[in-house]
Structure 1
Amino acid sequence: MPSKRDPQSSLVLVVEDDDLVRMIAVDMLEDAGFAVVSARQADEAWFILHERADIGVLFTDVDMPGSMCGVTLAERVHRAWPDIRLVLTSGRNRFANRDMPDHGLFVPKPYSVGEVVDAIHHAD
């Protein structure tokens, strides 16, 4: 398995369809010292991933409109970029970490900055 990218020296891609939640997540991660780019849905995130080579972390909501959900996005990212760390979140569904693609981690909503930062650093 390739080693994961260092989250502090690469971008975190936040994918969240709720504008307010996305804005809070971006601010929270920037305040924690991460560089962040965001997308409103998985299809937009997929485009960004193809355009940028500096994404090191995918932090995505599970339930989103569009052609794929966050789990499908994470599975595709794992296949295309196995060195990107995966962290998924949801307020509706609960997942065990063992159910996440590529040893990614799940953080339930509502989450704290500490929970997300810890998950980013521990996602294998």
Structure 2
Amino acid sequence: MTLTHLVHDHVIAYVNDLSTGFQDAAPRWRAVMHVLVVENDLDTRDLLYKALIDAGYEVSQAKGFSEALQLSGQHPDIGLVVVDLHTCVRLSGVEMAGEMRQRLSNSHYILTSSDWDALDPTCPDDMTILRKPYGRIELLRAVCGGVARRNERRRFGALKRPNRRRA
């Protein structure tokens, strides 16, 4: 286990301790959003899954590009995709999101990575950046922001493009 993993685990545990009951503050009236998590690391994927399920989202998981494409074909109602920048060996997270947009054109994409320098130059303006390590609050804030941006884009079309937010 590397120092990065140890720090990540402690930060996640600390933030989760601070945010106990955060999901109770989520509005109960909102419709269930289907979220696809594309992450090659099993532990991170499980943490994302649990945090999103606890917050009331419907969640599908994929460990790579081919599985994500298969799930996107099975679930055209996916409204948000959380994808790690380095999930796939042959494609970056940005390229993967571009390919998936052909099937999930109305979805919002959140790119995650611990490689902070790689995120900024590669991320298009209509995607959200979530830097690792992050906790449950940062994740849910990015997801809520992504849902709002998706809904705004659906309501006003491609003419209005909000500034990219960093979570």
TM range (shorter): 0.7 to 0.9
Confirm whether residue 41 of structure 1 aligns to residue 64 of structure 2: yes
How many aligned residue pairs are there? 117
Confirm whether residue 31 of structure 1 aligns to residue 57 of structure 2: no
- The corresponding residue for 1:75 is 98
Confirm whether residue 10 of structure 1 aligns to residue 72 of structure 2: no
Q: Deviations over 1:23-78 (max 9, x none)?
A: 11111111122111100012210111012122111001110235423111112233
Select the structure that is richer in helix. 2
Scaled by the length of structure 2, the TM-score of the pair is 0.62
What is the distance in 1 between the residues matched to 2:31 and 2:140?
11
What is the distance in 2 between the residues matched to 1:20 and 1:42?
18
Q: Greater shift after overlay, 52-61 or 70-79?
A: 70-79
1:1-124 alignment to 2 at 5 Å?
8-94=31-117, 95-96=119-120, 99-101=122-124, 103-123=126-146, 124=149
**Partner secondary structure for residue 143 of structure 2:** helix
2:83–2:93 contact (8 Å) kept in structure 1: yes
Select the structure that is richer in strand. 1
What is the distance in 2 between the residues matched to 1:106 and 1:62?
10
Percent sequence identity over matched residues?
Answer: 27
Scaled by the length of structure 1, the TM-score of the pair is 0.81
Q: Which structure 1 residue ranges, 5 or more long, are not aligned?
A: 1-6
Larger Rg: 2
What is the distance in 2 between the residues matched to 1:22 and 1:88?
14
**Partner secondary structure for residue 28 of structure 1:** helix
